[in-house]
Structure 1
Amino acid sequence: MVDRGLLYREWKQNQVVILLSIVFLVLANPLSIVNTYLSYQGCLAHHDPQYCDFIVNYRVNNLIGINWVPGVILAVCFLGMERSKGTMDFILSLPYNRSHIFQTKFWLGGLVIVLSQLIGFLLAWLLILVYQPEHVYYFEHSSVGVIVISFMAYCLLMAAGALTGNVFAQLLTAFATAVLPYLIVALPAGNVEVLLGVSIWELFPSPKAYFSLTSNLLYLVPISYVANEWLANSKYILLIPSVMSILFYLIGFISFKKHPSERNGHFFLWKRLDRPVQILVMSFGILGFGLFGYYSGNSFIGYVLGMVIGAVVGFFVSYFFIYKKTKH
């Protein structure tokens, strides 16, 4: 599955990025505990102890909330940068099949992300035992959840990198995928409200049912996990990003193995994706600009004009990004 020669090559090629990612992911969790403890000590130094509480609450934003960033950087270095610099052609010319190349890249980054955070979790747990805070909230749930979410982000970027021909295309495809479920639901729903003159929530038995459905649908949007609202809900919600990780891994593996690599510099390596994605971009442009035009002047003239502008903008944006080859 993972070849030692390829592993050594990836290590030498991305040594600095890998080491910095390990250091950050190992220290992020314990440093959050240390920061909370130092804040508590600072409170004791300037206020009466009865007004100072030493509480570790992972629902409050802390350093591990950006643990998904190293996964993004690693995926870009492993695939996007190789495509943009043209060195991917050299790797593919080596006496290794594509499966071994992708598996080596994928699992090297995956192990860095998971094992580093597990070490950080252990160090944070030891610090909690040493400092003995009054209360600890969401420690295990948040720590494990961030591991799952950061791994999902890494899988998403690796899948995007296996489909695209340069760094910009990889990042843009990953971001578009991260918000795609929301766009697929929100834009058509907004246009239905304009055309029918009725709010979507009025079609539900009660406002509570509507807001319950919309809040649950947000968990199907990968980018929604960047915020920590999922902490207060069931721990089984983490099964969703876990399944997404498997799906993104399979997409990346199959794409890297089956799709051509000779379209260097193009947005997508698989030419058949160009037209469907262009149609999708134009559709979102029409729906999005139509809503903007309507709510800008509260008129159907603005709505139609916005749709026309959206179609033109969507066409030129998609044409420029998808069909124009990027020079190495």
Structure 2
Amino acid sequence: KGQMDFTLSLPFSRSAIFHTKFFLGAGMIAGVHVVSYLIVYLLKLGLHPIETPEFNSRYFYALLSALMIYSLFFAAGTLTGSAISQAIVGFSTSILPFMLIGLPIIHLDFIIRTSGSWVDTSLNYLVSPISPITYITNDSFQQEYQHWFNGEAFIIPLVMMVIFYLVGLVSFVKHPIERNGRFFLFSKMDRPIQIMVIVFGVLGFGWVGFSYDSLLGYFVSMIIGGVVGALTSYFLI
């Protein structure tokens, strides 16, 4: 907090401070990947392995993924008032498509009692490509399911990186203070996010309730999830 207050008191614009910090971190990540690439490439030339499939593209994919995750947590830091809330928001955003799209799909499948194959296809074809967490877990959607378009594995993380960068830039320039202890620096975000946490608690615990294979267990689990979500959002936010 003290360091940020001091930095903001210097005769530099918020935009200049943001870009300096952002590109310094991004440059470090890129530099590490370049050094790693050169070392492995020299080993490859010296050892002559039998095969190195997609050597260049995999390194480029890893670099894009790392920069995208970095920009996500950087943006989370510009929206939140503490390091803990930054980590929570960053991780929650990385799995947000699974909670926002995946959980309703799973509940719908439970209610209409289908075979479940369309759920797997939907999660892998629709949800996984737009979930940041996918790009650091080597999700199987890249091998087992047809891509939306050529270059999907590279274009989607690149677009998400740009979006997170813009969110971080706008929020850092617009909010008047830094690290004030609040969960969100923009107080107007508190109530909508609190409602989302409660809804996700209801859907998440309802998912656990599927194991009882009864409507009673299903609804009891959702009620418990609502209570847990309400308490969690209250004490955190």
Shared fold by TM > 0.5?
A: yes
Structure 1 residue 289 corresponds to structure 2 residue 199: no
| Cα distance, 1:187–1:231 mapped onto 2, change above 3 Å | closer
1:96 aligned counterpart, secondary structure:
coil
Q: d(CA) in 2 for partners of 1:304 and 1:230? A: 32
Match of 1:105 in 2: 21
Aligned: 1:311 with 2:221: no
Q: Which amino acid aligns with 2:204?
A: G
Structure (1 or 2) with the larger CA radius of gyration:
1
CA apart distance, 1:223? 0.3
Deviation at 1:167, TM superposition (A): 0.9
Q: Determine which of 192, 196, 204 is the counterpart of 1:280.
A: 196
Instruction: Select 2:133's aligned residue among 217, 220, 223.
Output: 223
Following the alignment from structure 2 to structure 1, what is the Cα–Cα distance between the partners of residues 122 and 42? 40
The structural deviation recorded for 1:309 is 1.2
SS of aligned partner of 2:52: strand
How far has the Cα of 1:211 moved from its partner?
4.7
The alpha-carbon deviation at position 213 of structure 1 amounts to 4.2
Kept after mapping to 2: 8 A contact 1:156/1:174: yes
Mapped to 1, the partners of 2:141 and 2:122 lie a distance apart of: 15
| Aligned residue number for residue 156 of structure 1 | 72
The residue type equivalent to 2:29 in the other structure is I
Structural mapping, 1:66-85, within 5 Å:
85=1
- Residue in structure 1 matched with residue 236 of structure 2 by the alignment: 321
TM-score by structure 2 length? 0.89
Which residue matches 2:97?
Answer: 181
**Contact (CA 8 Å) 1:166, 1:267: kept in 2 or not?**
yes
Deviation per CA, 1:246-299, whole angstroms, max 9, x where unpaired?
A: 000000011111023266011100111100100000000111112222x24222
Higher relative contact order (CA 8 A, sep 6+): 2
Say how many residue pairs are matched: 230
Work out whether 1:95 is the aligned partner of 2:14. Answer: no
Q: How does 1:192-271 map to 2 (within 5 A)?
A: 192-199=108-115, 201=117, 211-217=120-126, 218-228=128-138, 229=140, 232=143, 235-261=151-177, 264-271=180-187
Normalising by structure 1, we get a TM-score of: 0.66
Counterpart code for 2:223: V
**Structure 2: distance between partners of 1:231 and 1:127:** 27
Structure 1 unmatched runs, 5+: 1-84, 202-206, 323-328
Q: Residues of 2 paired with 1:113 and 1:312: CA distance? A: 41
Root-mean-square deviation (Å): 2.0
| Unaligned runs of at least 5 residues, structure 2 | none
CA distance in 2, matches of 1:301, 1:172: 32
